[in-house]
Amino acid sequence: MLQKLVGLFARGGANKRGGFSLDGMLERMDRHLDHFTTLVRPTPESSPRTPFDTDLPPEQISTQNFTFRQILKMIPEMVPLLIGMQRSARMYDGRFQPTKKEASPGFIAQLEALARAAGAKDIGYVKVPRNAIFRDKGIPHEYAIVFTVEMDQVPIETAPSFACMHEVAHGYKNLAAISNKLAGFMRQHGFAAYPGTALGGLTDYPHLAELAGLGAIGYHGLLIAPGEGARLRINTIYTNITNLPTLQAQGTPNEHLWVRDFCAMCKKCVRTCPVNAIYEQPQPRGDGGMQIIEPATCRDYFTQNYGCGVCLAVCPFSHSGYEKVQAKFKGNPNAPQFRIEPAA
């Protein structure tokens, strides 16, 4: 029933078995990019977006075997999320004509206040490196606003579970609502603004969030940030504002990169992943990013087990909080260094 409902709202393509395809829905949303004659394109080495669809039979897919109560609980999250994502995609109709490309500090302060009032935990800015744009995709402008929302600890710590999946869906719903609100506000003030879709997207969000200085990518591949650690979700808004206060423009280094020195000692996510999908040590990908997990291995377990999330739940940063981990950490001079380079 939930699948049918999702299919109704999302109007996605069919998967190989004729059921609802999340990848099909995302590809359909991406077709709004056809309205643009020029896009910022990825590098030839850029990675493809990780697909969601699997070949698993329906009886093994958690979302296809929800109880009636679970379906009722999920509807208030999924329906607004899908409507919000459709709304984001429709903003790529190629019609908006910006009248400004430089924002005053006052406007940036207003935008940040609006984001926080709408539920964003943190907000940062980045010039998008082309290697962070997924293969065969493109973005309308080379600057992006990146923001996070927090997820509650109690349900996340039950992963893998319906409660954890529900909390993640709640996070995505909030991302979609906030990005549309901020993009509308930016357009009202004359700036181009294109919200990233909460699920999927055109760029690698943790990569952008690290470059924006919101945190650092841990060995589980998730952003680790002050406060909630990895219990967050990320979204972006692509914009023509050229004077955003990026770390690079301010000459400020990312102060969170020590996190990976901690990871090199911890590796709890590596040991705890039920299917050993997380590499012992991140692998440089050749496109400037890092390959941290084996996506196909993760995906099947993820699909069978409510979106898994064990790596997120066991991470000491999610558990104790960033500040407590930092206070106890004495440093690790032998940690291998992995640095994601900003756009030139």
> Interface with ligand SF4 by CB under 6 A: which residues?
218-220, 262-263, 266-269, 273-275, 277-278, 293, 298, 301-302, 308-311, 314-317
Output the six-digit token pair for 44: 């030839």
Asked if residues 175 and 85 have their Cβ atoms less than 8 Å apart, the reply is no
Pick from 197, 44, 217: nearest CA to 134: 44
Tell me if residue 243 falls in helix, strand or coil: coil
Q: Which residue is nearest to ligand SF4 (CB)?
A: 218
Nearer to ligand SF4, 13 or 51 (CB): 51
Nearer to ligand SF4, 48 or 94 (CB): 48
Pick from 136, 130, 165: nearest CA to 151: 165
Q: How far is the CB of 282 from ligand SF4 (least distance, A)?
A: 10
What is the spatial distance between Cα 56 and Cα 197, in angstroms, rounded to a whole number? Answer: 25
Nearer to ligand SF4, 103 or 315 (CB): 315
Please state, as a whole number, how many other Cβ atoms lie within 10 Å of the Cβ of residue 121. 20
The partner residues of 283 in beta bridges, in order of sequence, read: 291
Give, in order, the Cα–Cα distances in Å from 193 to each of 161, 184, 187, 201.
Answer: 36, 8, 6, 15
Nearer to ligand SF4, 239 or 254 (CB): 254
Q: How far is the CB of 220 from ligand SF4 (least distance, A)?
A: 4
Q: How far is the CB of 156 from ligand SF4 (least distance, A)?
A: 12
Q: How far is the CB of 192 from ligand SF4 (least distance, A)?
A: 35
Q: How far is the CB of 150 from ligand SF4 (least distance, A)?
A: 17
Nearer to ligand SF4, 209 or 263 (CB): 263
Nearer to ligand SF4, 87 or 268 (CB): 268
What is the spatial distance between Cα 231 and Cα 233, in angstroms, rounded to a whole number? Answer: 7
Q: How far is the CB of 77 from ligand SF4 (least distance, A)?
A: 19
Q: How far is the CB of 229 from ligand SF4 (least distance, A)?
A: 8
Q: How far is the CB of 227 from ligand SF4 (least distance, A)?
A: 15
Nearer to ligand SF4, 140 or 282 (CB): 282
What is the spatial distance between Cα 328 and Cα 110, in angstroms, rounded to a whole number? Answer: 36
136: left (phi over 0), alpha (psi -120 to 50) or beta: left
Annotate 169-234 with DSSP letters as a single string: HHHHHHHHHHHHHHHHHHHHTT--EEEPPSSS-SB-HHHHHHHTTS-EE-TTSSEEBTTTBT-EEE
Nearer to ligand SF4, 12 or 307 (CB): 307
